[in-house]
Amino acid sequence: MPNRLKDETSPYLLQHADNPVDWYPWGEEAFMRAKSEGKPIFLSIGYAACHWCHVMAHESFEDPEIAEIMNRHFVSIKVDREERPDVDSIYMDAIVALTGQGGWPLSAFLTPEGEPFYGGTYFPPTRRFNMPSFQEVLESVHEQWSTNREQVDRIGKELSAHIRSTPVFEAGEERLEPAALDSAAEQLFEKYDWKNGGWGGAPKFPQASAVEFLLQRYHRKRDRLALDMAKHALQSMARGGIFDQVGGGFHRYAVDERWLIPHFEKMLYDNAVLLPAYLHVWQLTGEPEFLEVVDKTIQFLIREMQDDAGGFFASLDADSEGEEGKFYVWTADELRTILTDEADRELALDVYGLRAGPNFEGANVLYLPDPVTDIAHERDIDEQDLRKRLRRIEAQLLNGRASRPRPAADDKIITAWNGLLLIALAEAARALKNADYLSAAQKLAGFLSSELKTQAGWRRTWRKGVPKNAATLRDLAGAGLGFLALYETDFNPVWFQEAEELCVEILEHYQDPQGGFYDTRDDLQDLIARPKSIQDTPLPSGNSLAVMLFLKMYNFTSNGQYAEPAERALRGMQSMASRHPTAFAGWLSALDYAIGPGLQLALLGDPDQDQFKRFKEAVDTRFLPLLIRAGGKPGEQGHPELLDNRSAVGGEPTAYLCKGFICNKPTNAIDDFLEQLETALHS
């Protein structure tokens, strides 16, 4: 008989709706029952694409004997961490404080007041490797609860006090210091893995924000080492198994230090933040392999992760047919069967690393052991022709793979992740002049503004027409930056207005008087603490996103209400970010932007006129991280203040280029404008 999760919309919660465990969703009903019956709470947090969450569910939550113990002694709550990252943040802090490490599934035991007193991550069904079985954990916690309540309550209060101590920003320097950027760059240089690419060992996670910071450094200082390092990191991932060579898109992380064997789940947010990095390095170098990654990844997202309504799904599972990675791996015989041309078969075996034999459980994760450029040179083939041939091979393999049982999709739509993807789609549409990408971006923006912005305020998730859960800081800031990116692409003032409304919401309901911003709105009542996340995991924190949003909005409006809280937060964070660049790379990019000076471009005239388009294309095709652009007809309503009190000189499209709000003479001539731009960039 289904439990209470049957009425939820989260695919992860619905996966557990038929468990014999008497699960509750997060909410008042579960806590009231725990209080009335004097029982502790077992809190299990995971997400739909989490492999070990599935394992623990099959081993323990589907076991009637274990479920009977849980139902008799505990009130059990199941949470999708993607729906409630605030709940996850609070109790992950507690588990890390208790055990020194965290992960998912998160398994926490709470008092009826929500105070954590014991927990861990995955527990096996039987004791192994000095790890207790889950049944032993349940019985031990029940015994402690029954016989040693005073100690349990003490631990709960101590842990609760710990997680209520939100980060306090350092006193901060009086001004923003370029030296902090230099120090951070030196740290990245020293710790970089030149053999394999990236930072750290196995398991190895993409660091898109660190790469973006290096690209900004190259733009600012022409630091060739920064560009070479960024290129090497992106090439290493693109040539490895972490990138789906057949279908495009990145898997979550690599289990090895070489980027060869991925953990096969595909998350929307990884692809959303990696896309701009590849686009930007292509803008700087023109090298085709980076553009191929952009195109293949966007095509994958539209093909496999876009909802008909316009939003994009949260993730694709790592497992299919009960096995991790089965959908994505190949044997040499499978490849030979699908590729009908003998020369293509032999080329594919060489290019994708199958000659060396299986590399994953008797099969092969496809990767590029040698760069395509080198293969073309060795075989005396034109590189462009070889790349076209490989795209044809990949299309055949993709078509062949389509007959396999697919990994499940978590088809809920998350505002923050879609906001970050909106940035990527808008920038790609702008830089590549791609109408399909622009259409996808506009459809996504329309979906966000119509479906996630509700009468009750912005929501975090949406699935099958149902918006749920109050938006977090990361949701609002990510969506705001996405709207601004799209405004800079199509100059529709509606998107700028959406971004400005989100800025006001953050200022009024998320701001911490001590500096920075809380993760949750000031009227959210169902948590024992108000989290304030500042660390940029591979996904930028809500705080660093909000700071960047306000800095950009200040450049559009010259309104100090946006600049002041952003710069105050940066002054408090710049020292920490400079010491730990991979943990705070989003902050470093915001610091670089704040130090500026920023460039402001106002284009006045009819966007459909050729001269207007030439002005716009002159900046759209280049990597210009300090530039913001606004455009439209004089007097048109809803545009940013950057266009106010300016006209189209002589009735012709006119460019106003400013640096730090100090403006050049307006010009109708593209050559004059390009000269002004070069001077602004190099002075």
Write down which residue in 595, 628, 663 finishes a domain.
Answer: 595
pTM: 0.96
Residue 182 in domain:
no
Q: Do 423 and 286 fall within a single domain? A: yes
User: Tell me, what amino acid is at 522?
Assistant: D
What is the amino acid identity at position 273? V
First to last CA, the chain: 71
Name the maximum alpha-carbon separation found in the chain: 86
Residue 8 located in a structural domain: yes
One domain for residues 575 and 639: no
Check whether residue 98 and residue 207 sit in a common domain: no
- Is position 174 within any domain? no
State residue 173's pLDDT score. Answer: 65
Last residue of a domain, one of 538, 560, 595: 595
Round to whole Å and give the CA distance between 626 and 659.
Answer: 10
In a domain, 180, yes or no: no
Q: Which CATH number characterizes residue 124's domain?
A: 3.40.30.10
pLDDT given at position 683: 84
**Mean pLDDT of successive 10-residue stretches along the chain, which has 683 residues:** 93 96 97 97 95 94 97 98 96 93 95 96 89 95 96 94 79 82 97 97 96 98 97 98 98 97 96 98 98 98 97 95 94 95 95 95 97 94 95 97 96 98 98 98 98 96 96 98 98 98 98 94 92 92 98 96 96 95 97 96 96 96 97 94 94 96 95 96 89
- Residue 216, domain CATH: 1.50.10.10
Residue 178 belongs to some domain of the structure: no
- Residue 177 is assigned to a structural domain of this protein: no
Phi-psi region of 361 (alpha: psi -120 to 50; beta: other; left: phi over 0): left
What is the distance, to the nearest Å, from the Cα of residue 669 to the centroid of all Cα atoms in its chain?
40
Of the residues 371, 401, 431, the one at which a domain ends? 401
Complete DSSP assignment for 57-114: IIIIIT-HHHHHHHHHH-EEEEEETTT-HHHHHHHHHHHHHHHS---SSEEEEE-TTS
Same domain assignment for residues 379 and 427: no
Separation of alpha carbons 188 and 203, rounded Å? 18
Residue 8 belongs to domain spanning: 4-164
Domain tally for the chain?
4
Q: Are residues 138 and 24 in the same domain?
A: yes
Task: Based on the fold, state whether residues 667 and 541 are members of the same structural domain.
Answer: no
Same domain, 648 and 580: no
Report pLDDT for 170.
64
- Cis ω for the linkage preceding 85 (within 30 of 0): no
134-184 pLDDT, tens digit per residue, is 999 999 999 999 999 999 999 999 999 998 887 767 656 678 999 999 999
| Closest to 431 in 3D by CA, of 564, 294, 588 | 294
Do 389 and 458 lie in one domain? The reply is no
444 shares its domain with 554: yes
Each as own residue / partner, the long-range contacts of residues 637-642 (CB below 8 Å, 24 or more positions apart, any chain) are 637/493, 638/493, 638/494, 638/496, 638/497, 639/491, 639/493, 639/496, 640/496, 640/556, 640/557, 641/556, 641/557, 641/558, 641/559, 642/555, 642/556, 642/557, 642/558, 642/600, 642/602
User: Using CA atoms, how far apart are residues 142 and 120, in angstroms rounded to an integer?
Assistant: 16
Cβ-proximal residues to 83 (8 Å cutoff; 6+ apart), any chain: 10, 412, 460, 461, 468, 469
Task: Check whether the bond before 105 is cis (ω within 30° of 0).
Answer: yes
Contact between 390 and 376 (Cβ < 8 Å): no
Is residue 445 within 8 Å of residue 453, measured between CB atoms? Answer: no
**Residues 306 and 337 grouped into a single domain:** no
Q: Do 591 and 636 lie in a common domain?
A: no
DSSP string, 139-180: HHHHHHHHH-HHHHHHHHHHHHHHHH---------SS--HHH
In this structure, is the dihedral angle defined by the CA atoms of residues 159, 160, 161 and 164, taken in order, positive or negative?
Answer: positive
Question: Partners of 630 in the beta sheet?
Answer: 602
* Residue 115 lies inside a defined structural domain of this protein: yes
At residue 174, the pLDDT reads 75
The verdict on 396 and 253 lying in the same domain is: no
The answer as to whether 294 is a domain residue is yes
